[in-house]
Protein backbone atom coordinates (compact mmCIF):
# COMPACT_ATOMS: atom_id res chain seq x y z
CA UNK A 1 0.00 0.00 0.00
CA UNK A 2 1.30 3.44 -0.96
CA UNK A 3 0.61 5.89 1.87
CA UNK A 4 0.78 9.63 1.29
CA UNK A 5 1.04 11.70 4.47
CA UNK A 6 1.51 15.36 5.28
CA UNK A 7 0.68 18.14 7.66
CA UNK A 8 -1.33 20.96 6.07
CA UNK A 9 1.29 23.50 7.12
CA UNK A 10 4.45 25.12 5.81
CA UNK A 11 6.04 25.50 9.23
CA UNK A 12 9.50 23.88 9.44
CA UNK A 13 8.59 22.68 12.95
CA UNK A 14 4.98 21.71 12.19
CA UNK A 15 3.35 19.63 14.89
CA UNK A 16 0.84 18.48 12.28
CA UNK A 17 3.67 17.16 10.12
CA UNK A 18 4.90 15.24 13.18
CA UNK A 19 1.42 13.95 13.91
CA UNK A 20 0.86 12.90 10.27
CA UNK A 21 4.20 11.05 10.36
CA UNK A 22 3.21 9.22 13.55
CA UNK A 23 -0.25 8.34 12.21
CA UNK A 24 1.04 7.10 8.85
CA UNK A 25 3.45 4.76 10.61
CA UNK A 26 0.51 2.98 12.25
CA UNK A 27 -0.13 1.37 8.86
CA UNK A 28 1.91 -1.07 6.80
CA UNK A 29 3.10 0.17 3.47
CA UNK A 30 5.41 2.49 1.60
CA UNK A 31 5.10 5.92 3.24
CA UNK A 32 5.61 9.07 1.21
CA UNK A 33 5.86 12.05 3.59
CA UNK A 34 5.59 15.27 1.64
CA UNK A 35 6.18 18.85 2.72
CA UNK A 36 3.82 21.54 1.41
CA UNK A 37 6.85 23.81 1.03
CA UNK A 38 7.81 21.65 -1.95
CA UNK A 39 4.51 22.59 -3.64
CA UNK A 40 4.53 26.35 -3.18
CA UNK A 41 2.33 28.07 -5.75
CA UNK A 42 1.38 31.66 -6.52
CA UNK A 43 -1.72 32.99 -4.76
CA UNK A 44 -4.69 31.70 -6.70
CA UNK A 45 -6.68 34.07 -8.88
CA UNK A 46 -8.83 33.48 -11.93
CA UNK A 47 -6.78 36.09 -13.79
CA UNK A 48 -3.54 34.25 -13.05
CA UNK A 49 -5.22 30.98 -14.06
CA UNK A 50 -6.29 32.49 -17.43
CA UNK A 51 -2.93 34.13 -18.09
CA UNK A 52 -0.52 31.44 -16.92
CA UNK A 53 -2.50 28.22 -16.60
CA UNK A 54 -1.95 25.80 -13.75
CA UNK A 55 1.30 25.71 -11.78
CA UNK A 56 3.46 22.64 -12.36
CA UNK A 57 3.28 21.99 -8.59
CA UNK A 58 -0.51 21.49 -8.84
CA UNK A 59 0.05 18.85 -11.52
CA UNK A 60 2.79 17.19 -9.45
CA UNK A 61 0.64 17.01 -6.32
CA UNK A 62 -2.32 15.76 -8.34
CA UNK A 63 -0.19 12.93 -9.70
CA UNK A 64 1.20 12.04 -6.26
CA UNK A 65 -2.30 11.83 -4.78
CA UNK A 66 -3.59 9.82 -7.72
CA UNK A 67 -0.67 7.37 -7.38
CA UNK A 68 -1.33 6.83 -3.65
CA UNK A 69 -3.54 4.16 -2.10
CA UNK A 70 -4.22 5.85 1.25
CA UNK A 71 -3.97 9.43 2.50
CA UNK A 72 -3.12 10.70 5.98
CA UNK A 73 -3.61 14.44 6.34
CA UNK A 74 -3.15 16.36 9.57
CA UNK A 75 -4.88 19.72 9.42
CA UNK A 76 -3.22 22.83 10.79
CA UNK A 77 -5.55 25.50 12.14
CA UNK A 78 -4.92 29.19 11.57
CA UNK A 79 -7.58 31.45 13.11
CA UNK A 80 -10.14 28.64 13.04
CA UNK A 81 -9.58 27.61 9.42
CA UNK A 82 -7.10 26.16 6.93
CA UNK A 83 -3.59 27.54 6.78
CA UNK A 84 -3.28 30.00 3.88
CA UNK A 85 -0.74 27.75 2.17
CA UNK A 86 -3.02 24.70 2.33
CA UNK A 87 -6.08 26.66 1.19
CA UNK A 88 -4.11 28.01 -1.77
CA UNK A 89 -2.90 24.50 -2.64
CA UNK A 90 -6.46 23.16 -2.44
CA UNK A 91 -7.72 26.05 -4.60
CA UNK A 92 -5.19 25.37 -7.38
CA UNK A 93 -5.60 21.60 -7.26
CA UNK A 94 -9.40 21.79 -7.30
CA UNK A 95 -9.31 24.05 -10.37
CA UNK A 96 -7.03 21.58 -12.11
CA UNK A 97 -9.34 18.68 -11.19
CA UNK A 98 -12.24 18.96 -8.73
CA UNK A 99 -11.58 15.33 -7.79
CA UNK A 100 -8.57 16.41 -5.72
CA UNK A 101 -8.55 13.31 -3.52
CA UNK A 102 -9.52 10.76 -6.22
CA UNK A 103 -11.80 8.78 -3.87
CA UNK A 104 -8.70 7.57 -2.01
CA UNK A 105 -9.32 6.29 1.51
CA UNK A 106 -8.24 8.97 3.97
CA UNK A 107 -7.46 9.37 7.65
CA UNK A 108 -8.10 13.00 8.55
CA UNK A 109 -6.52 14.25 11.76
CA UNK A 110 -5.56 17.50 13.46
CA UNK A 111 -3.66 18.82 16.42
CA UNK A 112 -2.77 22.14 17.99
CA UNK A 113 -1.05 23.49 21.09
CA UNK A 114 -4.49 24.44 22.45
CA UNK A 115 -7.18 22.46 24.19
CA UNK A 116 -9.44 22.25 21.13
CA UNK A 117 -6.90 20.39 18.98
CA UNK A 118 -7.76 22.29 15.79
CA UNK A 119 -11.32 20.98 15.84
CA UNK A 120 -12.68 23.90 13.81
CA UNK A 121 -10.46 23.22 10.81
CA UNK A 122 -11.10 19.49 11.14
CA UNK A 123 -14.86 20.17 11.00
CA UNK A 124 -14.36 22.40 7.95
CA UNK A 125 -12.32 19.69 6.20
CA UNK A 126 -14.86 16.99 7.09
CA UNK A 127 -17.51 19.14 5.42
CA UNK A 128 -15.48 20.29 2.40
CA UNK A 129 -13.21 17.38 1.45
CA UNK A 130 -15.99 14.99 0.31
CA UNK A 131 -16.89 17.60 -2.33
CA UNK A 132 -13.42 16.96 -3.69
CA UNK A 133 -13.92 13.17 -3.58
CA UNK A 134 -12.32 12.44 -0.22
CA UNK A 135 -13.23 9.02 1.14
CA UNK A 136 -12.75 9.82 4.83
CA UNK A 137 -12.56 6.58 6.82
CA UNK A 138 -12.00 8.25 10.17
CA UNK A 139 -10.97 11.43 11.91
CA UNK A 140 -9.30 12.41 15.18
CA UNK A 141 -8.32 15.61 16.94
CA UNK A 142 -5.44 15.67 19.44
CA UNK A 143 -5.64 18.59 21.88
CA UNK A 144 -2.70 20.19 23.65
CA UNK A 145 0.00 18.62 21.50
CA UNK A 146 2.86 19.58 23.83
CA UNK A 147 1.17 17.90 26.78
CA UNK A 148 -0.23 14.85 24.98
CA UNK A 149 2.44 13.85 22.46
CA UNK A 150 6.03 12.69 22.79
CA UNK A 151 6.92 10.26 19.97
CA UNK A 152 3.35 9.03 20.42
CA UNK A 153 0.17 9.96 22.26
CA UNK A 154 0.96 10.03 25.97
CA UNK A 155 -2.53 10.57 27.38
CA UNK A 156 -3.95 7.07 27.98
CA UNK A 157 -7.54 7.92 27.13
CA UNK A 158 -6.61 9.75 23.93
CA UNK A 159 -4.15 6.99 22.98
CA UNK A 160 -6.88 4.36 23.34
CA UNK A 161 -9.32 6.45 21.30
CA UNK A 162 -6.69 6.87 18.58
CA UNK A 163 -5.73 3.18 18.54
CA UNK A 164 -9.42 2.19 18.30
CA UNK A 165 -9.75 4.52 15.33
CA UNK A 166 -6.64 3.05 13.68
CA UNK A 167 -8.01 -0.47 14.19
CA UNK A 168 -11.32 0.52 12.56
CA UNK A 169 -9.58 2.22 9.64
CA UNK A 170 -7.36 -0.84 9.09
CA UNK A 171 -10.45 -3.09 9.07
CA UNK A 172 -12.15 -0.85 6.53
CA UNK A 173 -9.02 -0.72 4.37
CA UNK A 174 -8.81 -4.52 4.35
CA UNK A 175 -12.40 -4.70 3.08
CA UNK A 176 -11.62 -2.23 0.29
CA UNK A 177 -8.84 -4.40 -1.19
Residues 35-88: pLDDT tens digits? 999 999 999 999 999 999 999 999 999 999 999 999 999 999 999 999 999 999
pLDDT of residue 177: 77
Burial class (CB in 10 A: 0-12, 13-18, 19+), 100: buried
Sequence-distant (6+) residues with CB within 8 A of 107 are: 23, 70, 71, 72, 73, 136, 137, 138, 139, 140, 165, 169
Taking residues 4-8, what's their average pLDDT?
98
Taking only the tens place, the pLDDT of each residue in 156-172 is 999 999 999 999 999 99
Across the range 135-160, mean pLDDT stands at 98
**Phi-psi category of residue 22: left, alpha or beta, with phi > 0 → left and psi -120 to 50 → alpha:** alpha
> How far is Cα 149 from Cα 49, in angstroms, rounded to an integer?
41
Greater model confidence, 177 or 1: 1
> For 92-110, how does the pLDDT look when each residue is reduced to its tens digit (9 = 90+)?
999 999 999 999 999 999 9
Residue 70 host element (H or E): strand 70-75
Taking alpha carbons only, the member of 104, 7, 21, 108 closest to residue 63 is 104
pLDDT in tens, 14-39: 999 999 999 999 999 999 999 999 99
Distance CA 115, CA 98 (A): 33
pLDDT at 157: 98
Amino acid sequence: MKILAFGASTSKSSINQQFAHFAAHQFEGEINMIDLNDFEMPVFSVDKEKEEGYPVQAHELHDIIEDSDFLVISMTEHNGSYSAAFKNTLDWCSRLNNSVFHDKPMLLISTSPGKLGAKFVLEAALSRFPRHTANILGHFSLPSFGENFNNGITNEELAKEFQDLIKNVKETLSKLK
